[in-house]
Structure 1
């Protein structure tokens, strides 16, 4: 990106979650990095017409193993707003955070680390709050390991998206039919060059109840086991294709 890169930190925050905004604002102010608020989309307030415009229910029924909750739909729309803001503000990239995260001390070094990358990345994972995935070492950038993945880890609470990455994502979505954190695992389908910086600098907070689960718990959604299996198989081959295009590197 270079030292002159134009960047921002975006924090997704629902209007009704003022306490979360105070908490994350305090954390970022303590680090001394500038940030902006992206007003999140409250899935509970969406009409059926709003949902039908962006959520492909038919494709979800045939290609995914449960129907998204209103919270997940609102979450995806919130991230779409953040990606659009990258283009609207003519940024080179943005660090995108959900408002219920905790930041490692090393988070403060992200901008200067990103400035040293000359790889053609679209999206960089800076959090993996769920199952860890195998990382393939590309190099060391300061105190961070720069990696790609056999399959990117789930979780959208912290990631960096470039202008090129935002363009690719917005060209394909909406409509969407998978949760945003699952969708970002599909590197080949979305045409994304997904990378990671280890150790991760962002994690989910355990102090707040998930706004997504408060609107609708996806764990309670009726599942379609056969579609789940098909989804896992297709995701495996999507990852194989993405890694074949990326070429061999040493695994860590």
Structure 2
């Protein structure tokens, strides 16, 4: 395979210089350059630009609760990175938030995902925040590529290729769901979400994200009773249907009989 053209984007609010310098120094110390990508303050966006990315109507139809300004801005900031992958004709990009700690094995992880570029569309580099049902695991020595029935939340660190970026930009806009919850419906677009184990991106403890600072969620009622449960069940069911369609019922049943939490 020819050399892959990629970048590491770090999403960072303009006022959060300390966070930018902290993440940048980690990445540079590990031998990589990185590009800063602006975090988004939704209150500074014009109506036309906001409407391009976010839909209140879609939010009400597809998600249990109204999104805060911080959640909307966070999702837009990630989408801006995906747009850069396409406009800069990158093979892939690593997208990181600025409230993270990067493990010393990050360079090996980058080499690994480059070497196995044909095995993933979207791969999480971050730690899973909860135990998940492991559907499939491919071991390659120091690292494994895992596939869960459903990933845990948060969106600190991942890589996606150009084709996946194009698919997401063509299908999710305008969005009505948080960035991490939207990942639970990627199966609708035949995007397989994989996870790298062991992870190489971790959250900095006791550190709230500045990216979601604006309009931080207060207690908000669901749009209707049991809305969160309906969302969870429907995304689980959709994911299972996608796996059956992709792998066939026999292979799916075989894998389900060996499923375990990790």
Q: Same fold (TM over 0.5)?
A: yes
Counterpart in the other structure of 2:152: 153
The whole-number CA distance in structure 2 between the counterparts of 1:97 and 1:66 is 26
Report the Cα offset of residue 173 of structure 1: 2.6
Does structure 2 retain, via aligned residues, the 8 Å contact 1:27–1:103?
yes
Note if 1:80 corresponds to 2:79: yes
Deviations 1:151-205 (A, max 9, x none): 1222211010011110111011320000011101213223212111111111111
The whole-number CA distance in structure 2 between the counterparts of 1:116 and 1:54 is 34
Counterpart in the other structure of 1:232: 232
The whole-number CA distance in structure 2 between the counterparts of 1:128 and 1:134 is 14
Q: Please identify, of 197-206 and 2-11, the stretch whose mean Cα deviation from structure 2 is larger.
A: 2-11
3-state SS of 2:105 partner: helix
Does structure 2 retain, via aligned residues, the 8 Å contact 1:128–1:154?
no
The whole-number CA distance in structure 1 between the counterparts of 2:148 and 2:72 is 26
Q: TM-score, normalising length from structure 2?
A: 0.87
Runs of 5+ consecutive residues of structure 2 not aligned to the other structure:
none
Does structure 1 retain, via aligned residues, the 8 Å contact 2:128–2:151?
no
Counterpart in the other structure of 2:111: 112
Does structure 2 retain, via aligned residues, the 8 Å contact 1:71–1:213?
yes
Does structure 2 retain, via aligned residues, the 8 Å contact 1:62–1:227?
no
Counterpart in the other structure of 2:27: 28
Report the Cα offset of residue 143 of structure 1: 0.7
**How does 1:1-252 map onto structure 2 within 5 Å?**
2=1, 4-48=3-47, 50-117=49-116, 119-128=118-127, 130-218=129-217, 220-224=219-223, 225-247=225-247, 248=251, 249=255, 251=259
The whole-number CA distance in structure 2 between the counterparts of 1:76 and 1:118 is 25
The root-mean-square deviation of aligned C-alpha atoms, in Å, is: 2.0
Distance 1:244 1:128, change over 3 A: farther
Q: How many residues get paired? A: 251
Does structure 2 retain, via aligned residues, the 8 Å contact 1:120–1:193?
no
Distance 1:119 1:50, change over 3 A: closer
Report the Cα offset of residue 127 of structure 1: 1.3
Q: TM-score, normalising length from structure 1?
A: 0.91
The whole-number CA distance in structure 2 between the counterparts of 1:88 and 1:28 is 24
Q: Please identify, of 227-236 and 115-124, the stretch whose mean Cα deviation from structure 2 is larger.
A: 115-124
Distance 1:107 1:182, change over 3 A: same
Distance 1:181 1:57, change over 3 A: same
